[in-house]
Structure 1
C-alpha cells in the first residue's frame, strides 16, 4: 500500500489521529521526535509525526513543518494529512501554509470537526457541544443551545495565511457528493483553503466521498474525526496487531492541567481507592526538581502494590488556581520531571502499562524511556488510543495517551478497567 503521513503539532494529536488508521488495519507508528523522520523505514503504512511545534512562535512552527514536509516528499510519501488541534491551539494557519508550500498544493480542505468528542463546526464556527445529540446536530447557531462557540475558523486561519480562506456550509455538505464536489470546485476559484462544516459522522463521510474525487496534490487537514474517514476518501486497503503481555501495576501520569483531566483523575482515584501521589509543581519551578522527584518516588514505594494502579499527578489538578500562569519553560520543567519519575519507576516497580495525559508530558515520558516511536493498536475511547512503545527501556510496553480536554468524567476509569481486564484475560490464557 502507499505510505501516508500525518503531521501533528504535539504527541497526543499524532496518537489520536494515527490510531484512526490503525483501527482500519493499517500498520501505524508515531514518530515521537521529528528529527527521526529521515530514519523511517518501509515497514509501516502510516507515519504520524509529532513536530512538537505547539508552543513555538508562528515563524518557527512554519519553518519546522516546511522542512519536515519536504523530507516526506523526498521520501516518496504519497499523501499527507495535516492534523490540527480540535480547539485550534497552536498555529494551524502557519503550519497548514507550510505544508501547502512544501507540497506545492493548490487547495487545502480543512475539516476540524470531531463529533465523537463533541467538537462541531457550524457556519465556520468551532463549537463544543455540552447538550443532547439533537442540540449538537442543529444546523444553525442559536443562543443558549448548550454549545460553546470557541472561534470562527476561517478568521483564525486567515490571520496566519497568505492564501485566501473560504468556507463551505453544512447545507452544502449535506446536499450530496456530486453537489459538494461541484461546490468545492466553484469555491476554489476564489479560495485556496476551504473550511467545511460538519456536526456528525455522516457529514464526515460525505466529505470523504467528495475528497475521493480530488487529486493527490489536495491537502486535507483537520482533527482525528476526519482522519477516521480518510481510508474511504483515499481508497486505502488494509493489513493485523499486538497483545498486552506485561504483568504489574498500571501507571497513570497526569501532567495536563486541563479541568477535564482534573475531573477524570479525581473520579478514578475515588472509584479505585488509589490515592494519587501529587507532584508539587512549585518545588520544581523554584529550582528543586531533584528533591521533589526523590520525594515522589519515596511516596510511591510506600503505597500498597496490590492495588494494580499508581496515580502520579501534578498538584495543580487538585487546586483552584490560574492554570495559565505557568510559562512554557515552567511547563517543560514539570514535564521533564514527570518523565524522570516515570523512567525511574520502571526500574523500581513492575509496570504493566502507561497512561499519560497531556502532550508535553507524553513526549517527555517517551524521551525519558528512550523510545523511538509508538506502534498504535486501537482507539479505546474517542481520541484516546492504545499503542506499544518501540525501542528503549520500555520496549513493548503498552501506552495510552489522552489530550487534556478529551473524554468524559469516567474516561480514565474505563481505560483502567479495559487494561486490567485485558491483562487478566491474557494471564488466564498463559
Structure 2
C-alpha cells in the first residue's frame, strides 16, 4: 500500500480515524504535535497527525494544515485522508481547502456520515439520529455544501442515495463527470455502512488524485476497499484506570453502567474545592484514593463530580460559566492525576473520555506518539504510548459523546 497520511484537527479524531487502518494490520502511528511530523513518520504504513486546529481561528487553521500538507508531499506520501468531525465542528472548509491547495489536488469527496454513532447524510443534510422512546428520528443539523465551501461562488455537487446504490462503477463515473465539468467539491449521501463501503470502493476506482474527507465512518471502509485483511488481536496486562473529564451525558450514562461492576470504584473530583483554590489538596486526596482502590484490586473510575450530578435549566448556565472560567485548571489537574498514578502504581491501561482530557494527559505524560493497535468499539481505539516516562502504556480514548450506555463496560471486558 502507498503510505497514507491522515490529518485530523484534534487528538480524538486522529486516534479514531487511525485505528480504522491499524485494525486491518497496517502499522499506524498518531503524531500528537504536527511540528514533530518529520521526526516520527518513518517505517509505518499510516500516520495520523493531530493539527490541534479545531478551536483556532480559520486563518490559523488554514496555515497549519497547509504547512502539514507541504511536509507530507515532501515526505513522499501519496494517499491522504482529511478527518473531520462527524457533527461538522471546527474549521472544515478552510482545512479542506488547505489540504487541496498544499497537495495540488483538484477534487475532494466529502462524506461525514458515521452510522454507528447515529450520524447520517441524506439529500446533502447531516442528520443526527435522536431516540424517542422505542423509535428514532433523524434530525437535520447542517446542509453540508454550506459548510464545506469558503466562497459562495464555489460549486458543490451532492450525490444522493440513488447514485450511491447504483454501484461503485456508476458512482465513480458520476464523480469523474462532475470533476470534468469543473466541480471540485462533491458531498455524498450515506445512511448505512454498506453505503460507506460503496463510496470507499468508488473513490478507490477513480483515476483522479482526490482527497477523501470524512469521519471515522468512511475511514473504516477504505482499508476494505484496498482489499486489506487480517486483524491481529493482542492481549493486555492488568492495571487499569478510567478518567472522564467531559460533562457529556453520554459518558455519564456509561460511567454509571461501569460502576455497577463489582471491581470498580468511583473517585470523584470535587470541583467546588478546586474553584476555591484547593487543587493541590484535591490532588493529594484523589491520588490517595486511587492507591487504595488499586491495592484492593479495583479499577479506579476518576470523574469530575459535576458529570454525575442531576441538572436543571437553572444550573446549566452556572455550570457553563464555571467550566469556562475554571475548565483549564480542572483539565490540568486530571493530567497530573494521571501522570502520578501511572508512575506510582505502574498502570498499564488508561481509559480516557473527553478530547481535552486526553490531550492534557498525553501532554503531561510527555507522550509524543501513539502506536494504534485495534478498535475496541466503533470510534474507540486502543494504542500504545511512546515518549516520556510511560513507554508501553496502553491508551483507550473516547470522545465524550461517543458510544452507547454499555460501551465502557465493553471496553473493560476487552482489556
Q: TM-score, normalised by structure 2?
A: 0.90
Among 209, 222, 229, the alignment partner of 2:214 is 222
**8 Å contact 1:55–1:328 — kept in the other structure?**
no
Task: Please say if 1:177 is aligned against 2:177.
Answer: no
Query: Kindly tell me: are residues 329 and 31 of structure 1, through their superposed partners in 2, closer, same or farther at Cα, counting changes over 3 Å?
Result: farther
Three-state SS of the structure 2 residue aligned to 1:212 is helix
Alignment partner, residue 281 of structure 1 = 271
What are the ranges of 5 or more consecutive residues in structure 1 without an aligned counterpart?
A: 136-143, 420-430
Three-state SS of the structure 2 residue aligned to 1:276 is strand
Query: Kindly tell me: are residues 70 and 329 of structure 1, through their superposed partners in 2, closer, same or farther at Cα, counting changes over 3 Å?
Result: farther
Q: TM-score, normalised by structure 1?
A: 0.87
Alignment partner, residue 203 of structure 1 = 195
Query: Kindly tell me: are residues 215 and 328 of structure 1, through their superposed partners in 2, closer, same or farther at Cα, counting changes over 3 Å?
Result: farther
Among 128, 149, 158, the alignment partner of 1:167 is 158
Q: Which moved more, 1:71-80 or 1:145-154?
A: 145-154
Alignment partner, residue 362 of structure 1 = 358
**8 Å contact 1:280–1:315 — kept in the other structure?**
yes
Distance 1:303 1:257 in 2: 24
Alignment partner, residue 31 of structure 1 = 31
Distance 2:211 2:351 in 1: 32
Could you tell me how far 1:80 is from its partner in structure 2? 1.1
**8 Å contact 1:34–1:49 — kept in the other structure?**
yes
Root mean square deviation of aligned Cα: 2.5
Three-state SS of the structure 2 residue aligned to 1:96 is helix
Q: Which moved more, 1:356-365 or 1:208-217?
A: 208-217
Three-state SS of the structure 2 residue aligned to 1:126 is strand
Query: Kindly tell me: are residues 155 and 343 of structure 1, through their superposed partners in 2, closer, same or farther at Cα, counting changes over 3 Å?
Result: same
Three-state SS of the structure 1 residue aligned to 2:332 is helix
**8 Å contact 1:352–1:398 — kept in the other structure?**
yes
Distance 1:202 1:241 in 2: 24
Could you tell me how far 1:208 is from its partner in structure 2? 1.4
Alignment partner, residue 401 of structure 1 = 397
Distance 2:238 2:136 in 1: 47
Three-state SS of the structure 1 residue aligned to 2:97 is helix
Distance 1:272 1:87 in 2: 36
| Residue deviations 1:115-136 (CA, integer Å, cap 9, x gap) | 122211111111222459xx9x
| Residue deviations 1:283-326 (CA, integer Å, cap 9, x gap) | 44555433332232233234363343011112221122436445
Distance 1:391 1:124 in 2: 43
Distance 2:207 2:279 in 1: 52
Distance 1:166 1:28 in 2: 33
Could you tell me how far 1:359 is from its partner in structure 2? 1.4
Distance 1:54 1:376 in 2: 22
| Residue deviations 1:380-403 (CA, integer Å, cap 9, x gap) | 111111111122222111111111
Distance 1:192 1:371 in 2: 38
Alignment partner, residue 46 of structure 2 = 46
Three-state SS of the structure 2 residue aligned to 1:400 is strand
Query: Kindly tell me: are residues 145 and 236 of structure 1, through their superposed partners in 2, closer, same or farther at Cα, counting changes over 3 Å?
Result: closer
**8 Å contact 2:41–2:47 — kept in the other structure?**
no
Q: Which moved more, 1:157-166 or 1:337-346?
A: 157-166
Query: Kindly tell me: are residues 223 and 41 of structure 1, through their superposed partners in 2, closer, same or farther at Cα, counting changes over 3 Å?
Result: closer
What are the ranges of 5 or more consecutive residues in structure 2 without an aligned counterpart?
A: none
Query: Kindly tell me: are residues 339 and 173 of structure 1, through their superposed partners in 2, closer, same or farther at Cα, counting changes over 3 Å?
Result: same
Report matched runs for 1:1-400 at 5 Å: 1-130=1-130, 146-158=137-149, 163-188=154-179, 189-215=181-207, 217-233=209-225, 235=226, 243-248=234-239, 250-272=240-262, 274-285=264-275, 287-303=277-293, 305-319=295-309, 320=311, 321-322=315-316, 324-325=320-321, 330-400=326-396
**8 Å contact 1:110–1:193 — kept in the other structure?**
yes
**8 Å contact 2:233–2:374 — kept in the other structure?**
no
Q: Which moved more, 1:307-316 or 1:154-163?
A: 154-163
| Residue deviations 1:409-429 (CA, integer Å, cap 9, x gap) | 00001111211xxxxxxxxxx
**8 Å contact 1:25–1:240 — kept in the other structure?**
yes
Query: Kindly tell me: are residues 24 and 310 of structure 1, through their superposed partners in 2, closer, same or farther at Cα, counting changes over 3 Å?
Result: same
